Amino acid sequence: MRLIVNGQQAFCKATLDAIIEKGVDEVVAVYTAPDKEGKPFDAAKESAIAHGIPCIQPANYTDAAVLDEMRALNADLMVMAYMIIFVPEEARDVPKHGSICFHPSILPAHRGPSSINWPIIWGRKETGLTIFWPDDGLDEGEILLQKHVDIEPDATLGSIYFDKVFPIGVAAMLEAIDLVRDGNAPRIKQDDSQATYEGWANKKIAQIDWNRSAGEVYNLIRGCDPQPGAWTTLDGDEVQVYDCSKVAAYGRTGKIAAISKEGMVVTAGLGGILIRKVRAAGGKKMSSADFVAERGISVGTKLGT
């Protein structure tokens, strides 16, 4: 087939590279977001240039000239891999078979942004990804295929995405393209009664409440590692928290119950959190042991103040 690959950043680049390496279909153009002044080219654009493929960067997909240019490509399918610009129906339907899109959750659960963060924050044991036929709703289109992945007790946002969702997602994109080419691509309607939408896992969400249970705090830290970074305060200064585990601890919540070479233990509800790495505002990640020594922290110091 003649393919348009549309998307941004590393996932789009990896999808593009995988399609080209497979060598079955022809990528006739790469679409990505416009360049940002003073910023490097998007990874998808860099890959397009390296492969000698035209890279088109429209500010929107409603202008007649943009649509005419897309029609002239005579594409069979548009493959949408990590999108940040909305593509309306008129543009999505330009290719012969329409468009397919990647989303990193098992739709209809976790529609919208931060869809990998939330299952971890909520303590789920499973997540996954969906390739679907997008419509004008937010991740509401018919499902083509889905892949499930386990969330281990010590998994973080970073490990789930980079070790599982990313590589499995690229392979799933290739599988979906094969299904479309062979005329066997399903169109399964989503069950809207099971849909969830949580919004961005942003800085506000990432603030640690040490009065919550140790399990909830632990899941929040994992689900925000590396972005946006769960955080607390020490003497009014923000401190981001990474690389933790649940441990036994007693005492008033938010207080440091123990300090060792491994890190510092902070008491939460029904237990404690061993913190191994932190990052103070404006600084770099460092071991908790070094942070304790640098700031003169002792057992009994209270966080969240």
Does residue 158 sit in the same domain as residue 22? yes
* Helix, coil or strand: residue 172: helix
Domain membership flag for residue 304: no
Does residue 222 sit in the same domain as residue 283? yes
pLDDT attached to residue 182 = 97
Give the pLDDT of the chain (305 residues) as one tens digit per residue.
999 999 999 999 999 999 999 999 999 999 999 999 999 999 999 999 999 999 999 999 999 999 999 999 999 999 999 998 899 999 999 999 999 999 999 999 999 999 999 999 999 999 999 999 999 999 999 999 999 999 999 999 999 999 999 999 999 999 999 999 999 999 999 999 999 999 999 999 999 999 999 999 999 999 999 999 999 999 999 999 999 999 999 999 999 999 999 999 999 999 999 999 999 988 999 999 999 999 999 999 999 98
Does residue 227 sit in the same domain as residue 189? no
Does residue 229 sit in the same domain as residue 155? no
Domain membership flag for residue 158: yes
Residue 52: what are its φ and ψ, rounded to 5°?
A: 70, 30
Q: How far apart are CA 131 and CA 105, in angstroms?
A: 10
Does residue 78 sit in the same domain as residue 159? yes
Does residue 187 sit in the same domain as residue 219? no
Long-range contacts of 15-21 (CB under 8 A, 24+ apart): 15/79, 15/81, 15/102, 15/170, 15/173, 16/44, 16/47, 16/48, 16/51, 16/53, 16/81, 17/47, 18/170, 18/171, 18/173, 18/174, 19/79, 19/173, 19/174, 19/177, 20/51
Domain membership flag for residue 165: yes
> Using CA of residue 61, residue 63, residue 64, residue 65, what is the dihedral sign?
negative
Q: How far apart are CA 128 and CA 212, in angstroms?
A: 27
Domain membership flag for residue 17: yes
Amino acid at 253: T
Residue 269: what are its φ and ψ, rounded to 5°?
A: -70, 130
Domain membership flag for residue 204: no
Does residue 170 sit in the same domain as residue 226? no
Does residue 232 sit in the same domain as residue 157? no
pTM above 0.75, yes or no: yes
pLDDT attached to residue 264 = 97
Does residue 179 sit in the same domain as residue 56? yes
pLDDT attached to residue 98 = 98
- β-bridge pairing 263-268 and 231-234: unpaired
User: Last residue of a domain, which of 194, 222, 242?
Assistant: 194
pLDDT attached to residue 281 = 85
Domain membership flag for residue 208: no
Q: Using omega within 30 degrees of 0 as the cis cutoff, is the peptide bond preceding 228 cis?
A: yes
Amino acid at 10: A
Does residue 224 sit in the same domain as residue 109? no
CA atoms within 13 A on the CB side of 299: 8
Does residue 280 sit in the same domain as residue 142? no
Q: How far apart are CA 224 and CA 218, in angstroms?
A: 10
Residue 66: exposed, middle, or buried by beta-carbon count in 10 A (0-12, 13-18, 19+)?
Answer: middle
Q: What CATH number does residue 282 fall under?
A: 3.10.25.10
Rg of the chain over all Cα atoms, to the nearest angstrom: 23
User: Last residue of a domain, which of 141, 159, 194?
Assistant: 194
Q: What CATH number does residue 21 fall under?
A: 3.40.50.170
Does residue 249 sit in the same domain as residue 119? no
Instruction: Give the domain extent around 256.
Output: 214-295
User: Last residue of a domain, which of 126, 161, 194?
Assistant: 194
